[in-house]
Amino acid sequence: MFCNVRFRPEGMSTTSVYSVRIPKELRRAIEEMDDVDWQEEIRRAIAELVRRKRKERLLQKARTLRERMRAQVDAARLVREDRDAR
């Protein structure tokens, strides 16, 4: 995989270039399909993948935090202590 990222000075475009190498057969197939806006399709696919991966990571962090909290606090014990204190 080849990565080429270019940044522009402030005030100019806020996009960057990310290049990848693909098999020649795939490139030929892409060129045959001139009715597809490949740049937009690829941008959309990358954005969706990034959203999904961020969501998965956030969910995993929440699950880990929930497990740590569950292990630290026994709710039944806290309720019993509160009732006994009355």
Residue 86's pLDDT is what? 82
Residue 16's pLDDT is what? 92
Tokens 């039944």 sit at which residue? 76
| Pair of tokens at residue 48 | 């969706």
Stretch 53-71: mean pLDDT: 90
Instruction: Enter the DSSP assignment of 53.
Output: H
CB 17 within 8 A of CB 6: yes
Given pLDDT bands bounded at 50, 70 and 90, which one contains residue 7?
low
Residue 66's pLDDT is what? 86
Q: Is the pLDDT of residue 30 over 80?
A: yes
**What does pTM read for this prediction?**
0.62
Q: Where are the domains of the chain?
A: 24-84
Residue 35's pLDDT is what? 96
